[in-house]
A = this chain, B = another copy of it.
């Protein structure tokens, strides 16, 4: 969190629209892939010359340009010129600390989304995915690249489903749908960690358990922070009146909206579960203290009277009749054993043993 803020705060004092890449560099140089398709046609190529991406006015079908990596600012500026993007759009694409949102720039829709990746240490790392949806084209920007969009590409290549027949709005839907689905994978993994933690919690809670609970709680907060605005955003896509989204596509966005709500429901349920686990942890501490105290009390209660009796007959008074008795010593032993047994029965009765 603090890091994100630190990165953001370097922009202080710069004019809006000043293009600075806020975020870490993840890939060496940007990779640009272009897809052109309609029901009958499908072209896929890698682009190096930016002129290749200019779309002739009379072109039919859908063009999808996918850019992995954001550090090449001149490239982005060129993209902006070719497709007529507002300077604020470019700034937002570069600033990877955005919240998920949708912005309607009349000529195009600008969509920001967040995806999570599970790091090797089990933590979550955020990645920003931006999309610009035009009348017959769509440009997607991925901070780190990766396989997130592979299934969509596969479906395009295979020509399965509506994807090739429908317009760029349906392709946008496919991408958003894939991103929301990726949250289920994350939640799956978090759910498993919660379950493991629950078992640990009951068998042998340690301070580390508490820290693990807190860590999971914080990851839930992170997820929540991304999913809530994403839900809102998808919801407004589902009732959009922009001409860029056809009437017939709205229902698909509403379907994704239902999935986003389900993600939120699950996050809220996990949060409730983690709160419950905190209660269990704290009461387990109390319970243990109780048990430690009981052991101490039992030991003290049994041995203090016995030591007292031993002390009595260790006194050096001249006249102590019991000391003279032949069976005195054994009698005292008998009394001591008797007291100890009675004590133990008493504690058994009070369920302290």
What is the 8 Å Cβ interface bit string for chain A, positions 195-209, against chain B (1 contact, 0 not)? 100000010100100
The verdict on A97 contacting chain B, using a C-beta distance below 8 Å, is yes
The verdict on A101 contacting chain B, using a C-beta distance below 8 Å, is yes
- Do most interface residues of chain A lie in helix, strand or loop, or is the interface mixed? helix
The verdict on A324 contacting chain B, using a C-beta distance below 8 Å, is yes
Closest B-chain residue to A276, C-beta based?
B214
- Contact size range, A: 35 or more
The verdict on A242 contacting chain B, using a C-beta distance below 8 Å, is no
A265 touches B225 (CB 8 A): yes
Q: List 5 A-B contacts (CB under 8 A).
A: A11-B181, A282-B286, A303-B305, A316-B316, A318-B323
A290 touches B285 (CB 8 A): yes
Chain B residues, CB < 8 A from A314: 310-311, 314-316
Chain B residues, CB < 8 A from A163: 15
A66 CB, nearest partner CB in chain B, Å: 16
A184 touches B308 (CB 8 A): no
Chain B residues, CB < 8 A from A18: 161
B317 touches A313 (CB 8 A): yes
The verdict on A283 contacting chain B, using a C-beta distance below 8 Å, is yes
Stretch from A53-61, A70-78, A127-135, A186-194 forming part of the interface with B: A186-194
The docked-state distance in angstroms from the alpha carbon of A161 to that of B310 is 89
The verdict on A169 contacting chain B, using a C-beta distance below 8 Å, is no
The verdict on A46 contacting chain B, using a C-beta distance below 8 Å, is no
A297-B299, A299-B300 provided; 8 other pairs, C-beta below 8 A? A9-B181, A12-B181, A13-B181, A16-B252, A16-B256, A293-B296, A295-B301, A310-B314
A292 touches B295 (CB 8 A): no
8 Å CB contacts to B: which residues of A10-65?
11-18
Chain B residues, CB < 8 A from A328: 317-319
Chain B residues, CB < 8 A from A192: 2
- Nearest 10 A/B pairs, CB to CB: A2-B191, A13-B151, A310-B311, A313-B315, A15-B161, A9-B184, A12-B181, A303-B304, A317-B329, A314-B314
Closest B-chain residue to A340, C-beta based?
B308
Chain B residues, CB < 8 A from A98: 258, 262
User: Which one of B182, B269, B290, B292 lies within 8 Å of A225 (CB-CB)?
Assistant: B269
B15 touches A276 (CB 8 A): no
A323 touches B312 (CB 8 A): no
A290 touches B287 (CB 8 A): no
